[in-house]
């Protein structure tokens, strides 16, 4: 109800909390409750000596300072497909995503990473940008590690089997499942999931109000950060 009240105010409606509660009750509307997310990443078999540069502190002072990445699954008539998301910690904007019928590192997570590079500016200087993930084999793979190095991004990983070490990415996955995927009992195909996910990501970035952002959208927060960096200092 609180978020619905904020959303109506964002849209220009002058209504009180109690009125919103009454209208939601009359329309039989309730907030979505999230369930637990199954583990989808496969533990890496080779040693991984990369550090945890985040240490559960999912905060950033600017965009492109910390990205978090994770993978979740969707059940379809043909079996399972998988969704990979990369989220900017500062703005909560999903900067990269991909859908695939396979979990191979050369496909799904690399597609999401390439999308993130392109959506934020492929030639942008990412000095100091941290990419944080779990220790799943897809993120530990040589192909993914090389891609991070090529992009000038520092790799960071949490401990094995601890969801709190990648809590923000886990939260994005949970909301994706609650707000989109669970609206259908069973999805027809990977293509159907991909099309619906594209619409959900656009809504998440441009229209969804995030409590952690003071009920602003990720696009609004990202635009403010870009403006602040573009404004030249005034000479005294």
Residues 70 and 174 in one domain: yes
Could you tell me the residue range of the domain that residue 17 belongs to?
1-31
Query: Could you tell me if residue 236 is inside a domain?
Result: no
- Note the pLDDT tens digit of each residue in 171-191: 999 999 999 999 988 899 999
Query: Could you tell me if residue 87 is inside a domain?
Result: yes
Q: How many residues does the chain have?
A: 236
Residues 26 and 136 in one domain: no
Single pTM value for the model: 0.78
Residues 14 and 85 in one domain: no
Split into its structural domains, the chain has a count of 2
Question: CA quadruple 104, 200, 195, 224: dihedral positive or negative?
Answer: negative
State the residue for tokens 């637990």. Answer: 36
Query: Could you tell me if residue 37 is inside a domain?
Result: no
Residues 24 and 121 in one domain: no
Least confident of 21-30, 74-83, 113-122, 213-222: 21-30
| 146 or 43, higher pLDDT | 146
Least confident of 59-63, 119-123, 194-198, 216-220: 119-123
CA distance 8 to 142: 47
Question: Per DSSP, which regions of 134-197 are E strands?
Answer: 154-157
């Amino acid at each position: 109800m609180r978020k619905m009240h904020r959303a109506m105010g964002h849209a220009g409606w002058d209504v009180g909390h109690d009125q919103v509660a009454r209208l939601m009750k009359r329309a039989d509307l309730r907030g979505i409750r999230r369930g637990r997310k199954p583990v989808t990443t496969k533990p890496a078999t080779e040693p991984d000596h990369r550090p945890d540069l985040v240490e559960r502190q999912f905060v950033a002072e600017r965009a492109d300072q910390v990205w978090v990445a994770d993978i979740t699954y969707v059940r379809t008539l043909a079996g399972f497909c998988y969704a990979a998301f990369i989220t900017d910690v500062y703005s909560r904007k999903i900067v990269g995503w991909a859908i695939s019928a396979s979990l191979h590192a050369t496909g799904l997570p690399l597609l999401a990473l390439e999308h993130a590079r392109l959506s934020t500016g492929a030639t942008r200087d990412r000095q100091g940008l941290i990419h944080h993930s779990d220790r799943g084999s897809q993120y530990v793979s040589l192909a993914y590690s090389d891609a991070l190095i090529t992009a000038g991004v520092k790799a960071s990983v949490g401990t094995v089997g601890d969801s709190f070490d990648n809590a923000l990415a886990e939260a994005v996955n949970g909301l994706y499942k609650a707000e989109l995927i669970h609206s259908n009992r069973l999805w027809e195909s990977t293509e159907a999931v991909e099309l619906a996910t594209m619409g959900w990501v656009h809504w998440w970035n441009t229209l969804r109000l995030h409590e952690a952002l003071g009920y602003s959208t990720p696009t609004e927060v990202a635009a403010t950060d870009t403006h602040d960096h573009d404004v030249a200092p005034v000479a005294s």
